[in-house]
């Protein structure tokens, strides 16, 4: 068993606390993705698990064993770096076998494991090359191979695909997903790419400013966000937020022509502002004399994203079928599906449930 458990993990650089008491459990064999805006502490948290950053306070356990003070090499984890961090003067083969060599494994065993890994990653023909004679995607495969060869209980990835071009990124993403299925090891993966997070993860951890905002499966987070931040972060294009006013058993939304949307949720007292969230694909538009002005339209072929300016000045995005997209400058009437609204407290940004 090789789950990872963080208990009140804290990281401070001097007086500056960047990770504030994080509690998290990653089950054995789970693919866990950390997402969050830049600077929120994803890398820091990952490096704490790897042992490359000292944990200021709290506890980290891998496979039930407390490793808070254990050396990186002895934690049973392997890491794939964003910049690959291959050893430039060693061949691909030597790069992948380095970890085993350092731990005194016999040559024959190293060779067997390296060739196994190179078979999985289709690196056979590059084994004798130096890293600088490889393309970016090949380098990243080598660095994944280096991790595989060591046979770790936990794989750690820090934005492994962000240096690759879009097409290669899709290929590698599929490859990583396949790898996870084949090996079945626990993997923790840092990214700020929505799509990577949604497609790869069994469990997504949304971080903001050193706090965990919400943990759950991709669909849980998408369908049932705990707060405005998670709602806005998961899903692409992101959720629209407009202002609403609580009235008895309904929310009045000025942006949608002062329409009152009925709700069973516990609303704050009448007249209090609430934040109304609605995803772009849950709004339909119809041509109208007045309503919202079409600012511009992005055509993607099958679908189009239409940017609207509501009478209140608020901007929203609406997803339409490609052929139905309205011309810019025209007026449309946006009407959201009533059961697709998310309501948030305007002050605390917590979801109203």
Ligand X SMILES: Nc1ncnc2c1ncn2[C@@H]1O[C@H](COP(=O)(O)OP(=O)(O)OP(=O)(O)O)[C@@H](O)[C@H]1O
C-alpha 86/C-alpha 99 separation (Å) is 12
C-alpha 15/C-alpha 17 separation (Å) is 6
For Mg ion, the closer CB: 157 or 344: 157
C-alpha 242/C-alpha 254 separation (Å) is 9
Output the smallest distance, CB 158 to Mg ion, in A: 6
Cβ atoms of 37 and 208 within 8 Å: the answer is: yes
Write each residue from 108 to 147 as x if it is in contact with another protein (CB under 8 A), else as -, in one continuous string: -----------------------------------x--x-
At residue 69, the 3 state secondary structure works out as: coil
Q: Check binding of 50 to another protein (CB under 8 A).
A: yes
Q: Which does 269 bind (CB under 5 to 8 A by kind): ligand X, another protein, Mg ion, none?
A: none
Q: Check binding of 54 to ligand X (CB under 6 A).
A: no
Q: Which of 150, 169, 279, 351 binds another protein (CB under 8 A)?
A: 150
Q: Check binding of 188 to ligand X (CB under 6 A).
A: no
Sign, CA dihedral 122-93-30-85, equals negative
C-alpha 146/C-alpha 155 separation (Å) is 11
Subset of residues 11 to 40 that bind ligand X, contact rule: CB under 6 A: 13, 16, 18, 36, 38-40
The per-residue b/e assignment along 85-114, b for 16 or more CB within 10 angstroms, e otherwise, is ebeeeebbbbbbbbbbeeeebeeeebeebb
Q: Which of 25, 43, 162, 312 binds Mg ion (CB under 5 A)?
A: 43
Nearest to 188, CA basis, from 70, 326, 48, 327: 48
The footprint of another protein (CB under 8 A) covers 50-52, 71-74, 77-79, 81, 83, 85-90, 98-99, 102-103, 143, 146, 150
The footprint of ligand X (CB under 6 A) covers 13, 16, 18, 36, 38-44, 192
């Amino acid at each position: 068993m090789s789950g990872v458990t963080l208990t009140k993990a804290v990281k401070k650089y001097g007086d500056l606390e960047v990770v504030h008491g994080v509690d998290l459990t990653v089950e054995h064999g789970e693919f866990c993705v950390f997402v969050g805006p830049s600077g929120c502490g994803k890398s820091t948290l990952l490096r704490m698990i790897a042992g490359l950053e000292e944990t200021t306070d709290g506890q980290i356990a891998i496979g039930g064993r407390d490793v808070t003070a254990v050396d990186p090499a002895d934690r049973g984890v392997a890491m794939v770096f964003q910049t690959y961090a291959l050893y430039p003067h060693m061949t691909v083969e030597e790069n992948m076998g380095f970890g085993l060599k350092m731990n005194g494994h016999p040559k024959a065993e190293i060779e067997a494991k390296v060739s196994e890994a190179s078979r999985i990653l289709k690196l056979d023909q590059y084994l004798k090359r130096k890293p600088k004679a490889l393309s970016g995607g090949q380098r990243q495969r080598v660095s994944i191979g280096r991790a595989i060869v060591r046979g770790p209980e936990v794989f750690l990835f820090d934005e492994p695909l962000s240096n690759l071009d879009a097409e290669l990124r899709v290929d590698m993403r599929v490859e990583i997903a396949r790898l996870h299925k084949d090996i079945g090891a626990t993997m923790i993966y840092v990214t700020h790419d929505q799509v990577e997070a949604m497609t790869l993860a069994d469990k997504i951890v949304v971080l903001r400013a050193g706090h965990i905002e919400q943990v759950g499966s991709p669909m849980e987070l998408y369908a049932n966000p705990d707060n405005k931040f998670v709602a806005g972060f998961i899903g692409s294009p992101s959720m629209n937020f407009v202002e609403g006013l609580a009235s008895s058993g309904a929310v009045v939304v000025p942006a949608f022509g002062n329409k009152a949307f009925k709700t069973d949720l516990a609303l704050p007292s009448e007249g209090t502002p609430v934040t109304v969230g609605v995803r772009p694909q849950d709004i339909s538009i119809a041509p109208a004399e007045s309503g919202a002005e079409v600012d511009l339209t992005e055509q993607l072929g099958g679908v189009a994203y239409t940017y609207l300016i509501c009478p209140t000045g608020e901007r929203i995005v609406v997803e339409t079928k490609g052929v139905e997209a309205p011309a810019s400058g025209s007026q449309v009437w946006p009407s959201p599906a009533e059961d697709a609204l998310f309501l948030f407290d305007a002050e605390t940004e917590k979801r109203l449930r």
